[in-house]
Structure 1
Amino acid sequence: MATFDLELVSPERLLLSRPVEMAVIPAYEGEMGVLPGHAPMIVALRGGVIRVTEGGRETESLFIMGGFAEITPGRVTVLADEATPLASLSRTTAAQRVTEAEAALAAAANDAPEIRDRASDRLMAARAMQDAAQAA
């Protein structure tokens, strides 16, 4: 089966760099499946799970807090704000992040719209992390 190169980079390190058959990424517009030969684009990513398929089966699942993906016909590069293997997510940490994000959003109630939007994005990512941690 045809493959493309997938690279997943976080600020701390390179997490993944290998040929894969398919990747499903959490784009802001919704879940997006990427196959070899995909049309070139750059997409913003929300908090969610990246699922990697190799050999006809899902081989890897990683939670990202957001970021960007550059897609070309032969390569996908994901620049994640933060990335964690799904099996390593902690329910306690996720719940704490939701609490902190809710407090930050409440504190930003009278701030500029851009600040409120960033706080809202953080809350949505924290809730997605909590959902992923409970499902793992």
Structure 2
Amino acid sequence: MADAFKFELVSPERLLVSEEALQVVVPGEEGYFTVLASHAPAMATLKPGVVEVKLAGGADERFVVFGGFVDVTPEACTLLAESAVNVNDIDRHDLEQRIQDAREDVDDAKDDAGLTKARTYLDQLTTLQGAILPA
């Protein structure tokens, strides 16, 4: 059996998960990456996306995160998310509202940097919507 490590997913509202995991797939700002036991120490910024967790007990869990960062050590993986929710608990209306807000941010952008940031966030949200919600 594969080695397990401590996994925690924390949002400002609550601790969503604190369990032993075998594998965690993380939506890093530079791309998705997989964390296993004895992973090299790393810190990364999170982009909006889906965290996939294979728990040591055999269950698979999926969580949507909206920003934050991840801290990885050989013994643990801790995600500190700006906002996080279990995929099974996604509120379609909330996601659609975030997309609408992002569209308004694109329209209201004052400079190229703001426009690029707003478009990137909107693209991430619409990709996320397609990945987790049926049409």
TM-score by length of 2: 0.86
Asked if 1:105 corresponds to 2:115, the answer is: no
Q: Aligned pair in 2 of structure 1 residues 121, 65: CA closer, same or farther (>3 Å)? A: farther
Q: What SS does structure 1 have at the residue aligned with 2:133?
A: helix
Q: Aligned pair in 2 of structure 1 residues 80, 117: CA closer, same or farther (>3 Å)? A: farther
Identity score, percent: 34
Q: What is the rounded CA distance, in whole Å, between the counterparts of 2:14 and 2:55 in structure 1?
A: 22
For 1:1-136, what aligned pairs fall within 5 Å after superposition?
1-55=2-56, 57-108=58-109, 110-111=110-111, 113=113, 115-135=114-134
- 8 Å contact from structure 1 (residues 86, 132) kept in 2: no
Q: What is the rounded CA distance, in whole Å, between the counterparts of 1:116 and 1:58 in structure 2?
A: 40
TM-score by length of 1: 0.86
Q: Which structure 1 residue ranges, 5 or more long, are not aligned?
A: none
Q: Which structure 2 residue ranges, 5 or more long, are not aligned?
A: none
The structural deviation recorded for 1:90 is: 2.6
Aligned residues: CA RMSD: 2.1
Superposed structure 1 runs of 4+ greater than 3 Å apart: 55-58, 115-118
The structural deviation recorded for 1:131 is: 2.0
| Cα offsets for 1:52-109 (capped at 9, x unmatched) | 112485521100011100111011110101001101113333223212201111101x
Q: What SS does structure 1 have at the residue aligned with 2:96?
A: helix
The structural deviation recorded for 1:121 is: 4.2
What is the total number of aligned residue pairs between the two structures?
134
